C-alpha cells in the first residue's frame, strides 16, 4: 500500500462502493463514513470527543507494540485538531493504511496440547448501497454475523475478553461495537470512554492498536486480527498482554458495513 | 460536498450539493435537483452532465 499515492489509496479503499451511483458523486469511503458520523452525532446527541476516544485508546494499546504502524500515544486534542479527511472525520480518526502480512496455520483438533481453537466463524452481507438500507446507522451484516457466531460458539458477549475491531474510522468501530451487541445503540462510545472492563464492562478493545494504530494493510488486516487474538489467548502478547484472556473475537468489515466476518477463538 | 438526499417519494440518493456553503446545509432542509456539469474527460473529451442538488428556491407550502 505504501507504493501508492494517497489519492490512489483512497480510490482503492472506495472500490467496494457502487461506481455508477456512489463513486460517480465523487464521494470516498471516508466521505460515506462522514455522512454516517454526522447523522450519528445528531440522532444520539453524542459528542465527537466521545467517539474519537476510540482512537485515543487504540493508540494507548499500540504503544510499545513491535508490529504496530504507529506505536505511540495520541491525545484527544491532537486527534481532533488534525486536518479534516471528510468533515467531520479528522485524518487522525482514520485507520493508518500501510504494508503488512499475516499468516495463520489451521489444523484439525487432535487434543495434542494446542491452546487455541476456532469456536465460530461466520460472515454476512448487507445491501452495498448505503442509501438502500433501512437505517444507515445500523450495520445489519455485523448484527447477523455476530448473532450467528455467538450461537455457533455457545458463548455470550460477556465471555469475550479481547476484541479486535474493524475501526476503519472511529465511527465504524463504535457502530460495530453496538451492532455486535456489546452496547445499546448510541452507547457504543460510552463503552470506550468509561474504560474497558471497568465495572465488569466490555472486552479489551484493539489490544495492539487496531486498524487505527497497528495499521490497516487492507487485505491482510483480517488475518492480522486473528493472529493478534491468538497471540493474546496464548499469553504471548508481551507488554500488550491482557490478563487471563480466554475468549477473543475478530471483526472484519468490507465496504462501509456491507460485509462482515466474525471469528471467535477460544483457549482450551 | 456530497449529501444523502431523500426524495419526496422516499427514495434516497447520494448527490453533490451546489450553490450553498457547507455550514449552511442542515439535516432536513428542502432541496431540489438541478442539471449541472459533473466532470470533463480531459481537454478534448466528453463533458458529462447530470443532477446535483441545491437548496430549494421554490416557496414552501
In the prediction, which pLDDT does A200 show?
Answer: 53
CA–CA distance, A176 with A155 (Å, rounded to integer): 18
From chain A, the residues in CB contact with B38 under 8 A are 24
**Are B22 and A35 within 8 A, CB to CB?**
no
In the prediction, which pLDDT does A65 show?
Answer: 93
pLDDT per position as a tens digit, B7-61: 999 999 999 999 999 999 998 999 999 999 988 888 889 999 999 999 998 766 5
Of A25, A39, A132, the CB nearest to B15: A25
**Shortest Cα distance from A186 to chain B (angstroms)?**
18
CA–CA distance, A89 with A151 (Å, rounded to integer): 35
DSSP letter string, A88-99:
TEEGGGB--B--
In the prediction, which pLDDT does A198 show?
Answer: 45
**Shortest Cα distance from B38 to chain A (angstroms)?**
8
CA–CA distance, B61 with B47 (Å, rounded to integer): 37
A88 cis-preceded (ω within 30 degrees of 0): yes
Mean pLDDT in order along chain A per 10 residues (268 residues): 86 84 89 96 96 96 93 97 96 92 88 84 95 95 98 96 96 97 93 64 90 93 96 94 94 95 96
**Are A131 and B22 within 8 A, CB to CB?**
no
In this structure, the number of other CB atoms found within 10 A of the CB of residue A7 comes to 9
Nearest CA in chain A to B37: A25
Mark which residues 22-41 of B lie under 8 Å from A by CB.
22, 27, 38
CA–CA distance, A202 with A204 (Å, rounded to integer): 7
pTM of the model: 0.93
In this structure, the number of other CB atoms found within 10 A of the CB of residue B42 comes to 6
In the prediction, which pLDDT does A199 show?
Answer: 44
Amino acid at each position: 500500500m505504501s507504493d501508492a499515492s494517497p489519492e490512489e489509496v483512497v480510490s482503492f479503499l472506495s472500490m467496494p462502493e457502487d461506481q455508477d451511483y456512489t463513486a460517480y458523486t465523487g464521494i470516498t469511503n471516508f466521505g460515506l463514513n462522514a455522512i454516517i458520523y454526522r447523522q450519528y452525532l445528531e440522532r444520539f446527541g453524542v459528542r465527537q470527543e466521545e467517539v474519537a476516544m476510540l482512537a485515543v485508546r487504540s493508540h494507548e494499546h499500540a504503544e510499545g507494540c513491535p508490529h504496530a504502524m504507529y506505536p505511540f500515544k495520541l491525545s484527544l486534542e491532537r486527534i481532533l485538531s488534525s486536518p479534516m479527511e471528510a468533515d467531520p472525520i479528522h485524518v487522525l480518526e482514520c485507520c493508518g493504511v500501510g504494508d503488512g502480512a499475516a499468516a495463520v496455520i489451521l489444523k484439525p483438533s487432535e487434543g495434542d496440547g494446542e491452546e487455541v481453537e476456532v469456536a465460530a466463524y461466520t460472515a454476512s452481507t448487507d445491501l452495498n448501497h448505503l442509501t438502500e438500507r433501512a437505517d444507515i446507522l445500523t450495520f445489519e451484516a455485523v448484527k447477523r454475523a455476530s448473532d450467528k457466531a455467538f450461537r455457533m460458539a455457545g458463548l455470550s458477549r460477556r465471555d469475550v475478553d479481547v476484541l479486535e475491531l474493524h475501526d476503519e474510522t472511529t465511527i465504524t468501530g463504535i457502530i460495530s461495537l453496538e451492532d455486535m451487541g456489546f452496547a445499546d445503540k448510541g452507547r457504543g462510545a460510552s463503552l470506550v470512554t468509561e474504560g474497558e472492563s471497568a465495572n465488569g464492562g466490555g472486552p479489551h478493545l484493539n489490544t495492539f492498536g487496531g486498524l487505527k494504530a497497528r495499521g490497516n494493510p487492507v487485505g491482510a488486516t483480517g488475518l492480522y486480527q486473528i493472529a493478534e487474538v491468538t497471540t493474546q489467548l496464548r499469553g504471548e502478547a508481551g507488554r500488550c498482554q491482557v490478563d487471563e484472556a480466554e475468549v477473543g473475537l475478530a471483526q472484519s468489515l468490507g465496504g462501509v458495513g456491507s460485509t462482515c466476518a466474525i471469528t471467535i477463538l477460544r483457549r482450551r | 460536498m456530497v449529501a444523502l438526499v431523500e426524495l419526496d417519494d422516499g427514495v434516497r440518493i447520494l448527490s453533490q450539493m451546489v450553490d450553498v456553503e457547507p455550514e449552511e446545509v442542515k439535516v432536513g432542509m428542502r432541496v431540489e435537483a438541478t442539471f449541472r456539469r459533473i466532470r470533463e474527460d480531459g481537454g478534448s473529451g466528453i463533458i458529462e452532465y447530470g443532477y446535483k442538488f441545491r437548496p430549494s428556491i421554490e416557496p414552501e407550502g
